[in-house]
Structure 1
């Protein structure tokens, strides 16, 4: 996916993100839970989109900076956040425009799976983290591809398309699949120590009408969606 794609459907993505099961009641609560108490922490929201995660982090007392590759998404984020959060249009595949050891945390919410190469972006994330700082990332769960594309090579890093609806409109999103071992390798090769790999359940606050019956019944095997990783930059 390119920034131009997100410019094209930014409003529809924002509408879907605001109230959907996967974003509002699963991915975002899980990231916030992993982040914990963020009061007084300086956080970079890498790939901030229209800013819902940044807004919640600010509400919880964090000092947040954000960027996204899509100008349209940054415009939406500025409308949401006002002057509270410095925002920049920037491509995660390019060197980050921040000084070394600036941030206590970097959150990368559903962004890395758009990239073929993680090595350079993760090296930059490590550079801007303070010693002891954390990367909190979420990506499409690699095991979902075993279910959705059983004839494909799970161990190959490969491009794939996914048909989704954004605000009721059919859209095709393009991602990079990588096996779990490549997720872990990229993080550790960047000099970060994996602290958590998580596969949480949807938020307990999820409205019942958003849950498919098998998930509502508590069948966790029916819910393969995102993988969450917390990794730490070693303390000096």
Structure 2
């Protein structure tokens, strides 16, 4: 019988991420985050000048720094030692006023409930016991505050690898939860309904769902170095959700 990973085991897996990988994320994440995820998150957030934003599961902190550059008052929460240390190091060098906290999102310290927005980008699929993390994000919001989260699109996970192998996307399992091994750690597949039903259970009002596609011109420019990248033009690899605190 396979033992289900715990949050602690998952955090330790992410703690093995090499520094060169974190450095390669500067200044605005990897290819997918630059072209597909970040633009949608920033559009959904709108003008963040003077607003208090929680970057929940901030990793090495690149999105926290993007928000601070745009004038937000940012708190970043990250449990993994290596990524937390990297984000602290960058704050020491850049002095952007970002407050980083090392904590598991499922056991986050009391941050109050005054955040104008909470962003949880590409984090929930990495957490085995994810519902308390989503609850903590919502509880950190002021009334009417905005909760944004992004995940690998549950209907089109591992899009690039599948497209490279078959020239199309194929899916055999969807409804049950299962593990997806990654380079440094493990993600967990869950159907879209799991995330949206939990959002409803927490009393949030759905504002927008986005399934971003790659611009054809960018795909053509990248095709030689990333075979199969045209898949991002035709099929959404990411799901981004905006909801309001009741």
TM, length-normalised to structure 2: 0.80
User: Which residue matches 1:69?
Assistant: 79
Task: Tell me, in whole angstroms, the C-alpha distance in 1 between the residues paired with 2:222 and 2:114.
Answer: 39
Alignment counterpart, residue 64 of structure 2, candidates 54, 57, 74 = 54
Task: Tell me, in whole angstroms, the C-alpha distance in 2 between the residues paired with 1:160 and 1:73.
Answer: 21
Alignment counterpart, residue 92 of structure 1, candidates 105, 113, 116 = 105
Q: What's the offset of the Cα at 1:4? A: 2.1
State whether residues 194 and 230 of structure 1, in contact with CA within 8 Å, keep that contact through their aligned partners in structure 2: yes
Paired residue secondary structure (1:30) = helix
Count of matched residue pairs: 222
Task: Tell me, in whole angstroms, the C-alpha distance in 1 between the residues paired with 2:185 and 2:196.
Answer: 24
- Which ranges in structure 1 are unaligned for 5 or more consecutive residues? 163-170
Q: Do residues 191 (structure 1) and 191 (structure 2) align? A: no
Report the CA distance shift for 1:60/1:204 in structure 2 as closer, same or farther (over 3 A): farther
Q: What's the offset of the Cα at 1:186? A: 1.3
Report the CA distance shift for 1:203/1:94 in structure 2 as closer, same or farther (over 3 A): farther
More strand by share: 1
Paired residue secondary structure (2:13) = helix
Q: What's the offset of the Cα at 1:203? A: 6.7
Paired residue secondary structure (1:58) = helix
Task: Tell me, in whole angstroms, the C-alpha distance in 2 between the residues paired with 1:129 and 1:3.
Answer: 25
- Which ranges in structure 2 are unaligned for 5 or more consecutive residues? 1-8, 163-169
Alignment counterpart, residue 34 of structure 1, candidates 38, 44, 54 = 44
User: Which residue matches 2:123?
Assistant: 111
- 5 Å-filtered alignment, 1:1-236, equals 2-18=10-26, 20-82=30-92, 83=95, 84-99=97-112, 101-145=113-157, 148=162, 150-152=171-173, 154-162=174-182, 171-202=183-214, 209-211=221-223, 212=226, 220-221=233-234, 223-234=235-246
